[in-house]
């Protein structure tokens, strides 16, 4: 039955009507309902929030599936995108990946891009199971690492009818090719040592996602990554600044840009940060140029994480307008 995997546990009451983050973003819980949900993906319990308008007038709702970037959890400012979409009439499923946040998993803090993509697809199936969702009107949103996932999901899952990909990760091999030989050698030595250690039954090596100490090795470098983590500090209790070393290895082997040519004739919005210091503009432009029509490219001022921080309102509005006009 459709209701078998529907887990409507409770409506979250968020700070007596409004929730804020450090950037002043707010969720008005009088205009939306936020429901705890759970669905299975790869045998693991994936926990998420389903955002729905307070007054649905008993209509089937168009829906958006979205998830955090890389090692993020649903509280890492992504809830503000979801709330903005929902108050304009969309059901929005925002979930924690397996191994992160409230979801279960096999290896804690391991970022497996293909496991995360499967969770996106199972999230679509979860929405299909619900009586209040128009399953012919399902879109996907992704940002940064999940911006790459959104491209892949849209290419391999024909249930997706509309796409927003914001500052997307495009190519792992690009970074390998552009690393200094000394750094490349160091990385491969670390990957191989970790693999051997795991074969012997030891715990996976873990590293920080980001750091403000230039002497410390981390998965993501640069001060803006640290600023992003600081922006939701205290608002994302399930987030840990930690990933397995294998997560970085899998990231460098991941090539979502190769899938863009296989995305069908669905509306596609690409959002670029003008001063993106992590994903080169040309990589995203190349992906956009390969994509079929209909499509649109938008530039926002700021760095890679700006659309999730100080430019969140603008980025959210651009994505919302795209979904409203095309889904």
- Provide DSSP, 224-263: HHHHHHHHTTTT-TT--S-EEHHHHHHHHT--GGGGGGG-
Report whether pLDDT(13) > 60: no
Work out the burial of residue 131: count CB atoms within 10 Å of its CB; fewer than 13 is exposed, 13-18 middle, 19 or more buried. Answer: exposed
Confidence of residue 203 (pLDDT cuts 50, 70, 90): very high
Are the CB atoms for 164 and 139 separated by under 8 Å? yes
Per-residue CA distances from 224 to 85, 130, 316 (Å): 26, 39, 20
Report whether pLDDT(20) > 70: no
Neighbours of 44 (CB within 10 A): 19
Report whether pLDDT(21) > 60: no
Of 5-14, 24-33, 113-122, minimum mean pLDDT range = 5-14
Query: For the whole model, what pTM was predicted?
Result: 0.91
pLDDT for 102 equals 97
What is the C-alpha to C-alpha distance for residues 96 and 70, in angstroms, rounded to an integer?
Answer: 11
pLDDT for 134 equals 97
Cα dihedral 1→88→161→34 (10° resolution): -40
Confidence of residue 24 (pLDDT cuts 50, 70, 90): low
What is the C-alpha to C-alpha distance for residues 322 and 17, in angstroms, rounded to an integer?
Answer: 28
Report whether pLDDT(5) > 60: no
Residue ranges and CATH numbers for the domains of the chain are 2-171+257-326 (3.40.50.1820)
């Amino acid at each position: 039955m459709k209701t078998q995997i529907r887990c409507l546990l409770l409506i979250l009451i968020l700070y007596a009507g409004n929730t804020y983050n450090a950037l002043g973003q707010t969720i008005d819980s009088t205009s939306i309902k936020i429901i705890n949900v759970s669905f299975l993906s790869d045998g693991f319990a994936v926990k998420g929030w389903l955002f729905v308008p307070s007054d649905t007038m008993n209509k089937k709702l168009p829906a958006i599936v979205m998830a955090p970037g890389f090692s993020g959890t649903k509280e890492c400012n992504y809830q503000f995108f979801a709330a903005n979409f929902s108050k304009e009439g969309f059901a929005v499923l925002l979930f924690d990946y397996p191994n992160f946040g409230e979801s279960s998993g096999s290896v804690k803090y391991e970022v497996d891009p293909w496991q995360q993509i499967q969770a996106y697809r199972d999230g679509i199936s979860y929405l299909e199971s619900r009586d209040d969702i128009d399953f012919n009107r399902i879109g996907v949103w992704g940002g940064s690492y999940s911006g790459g996932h959104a491209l892949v999901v849209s290419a391999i899952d024909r249930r997706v009818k509309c796409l927003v990909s914001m500052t997307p990760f495009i190519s792992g091999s690009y970074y390998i090719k552009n690393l200094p030989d000394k750094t490349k050698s160091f990385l491969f030595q670390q990957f191989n040592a970790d693999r051997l250690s795991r074969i012997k039954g030891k715990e996976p090596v873990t590293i920080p996602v980001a750091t403000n100490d230039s002497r410390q090795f981390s998965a993501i470098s640069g001060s803006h990554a640290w600023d992003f983590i600081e922006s939701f500090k205290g608002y994302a209790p399930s987030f840990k600044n930690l990933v397995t070393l294998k997560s970085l290895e899998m990231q460098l082997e991941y090539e979502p840009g190769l899938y863009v040519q296989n995305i069908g004739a669905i509306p596609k919005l690409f959002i670029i940060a003008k001063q993106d210091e992590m994903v080169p503009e040309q990589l995203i432009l190349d992906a956009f140029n390969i994509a079929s029509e209909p499509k649109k490219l938008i530039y926002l001022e700021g760095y890679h994480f700006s659309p999730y921080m100080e430019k969140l309102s603008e980025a959210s509005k651009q994505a919302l307008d795209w979904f409203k006009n095309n889904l």
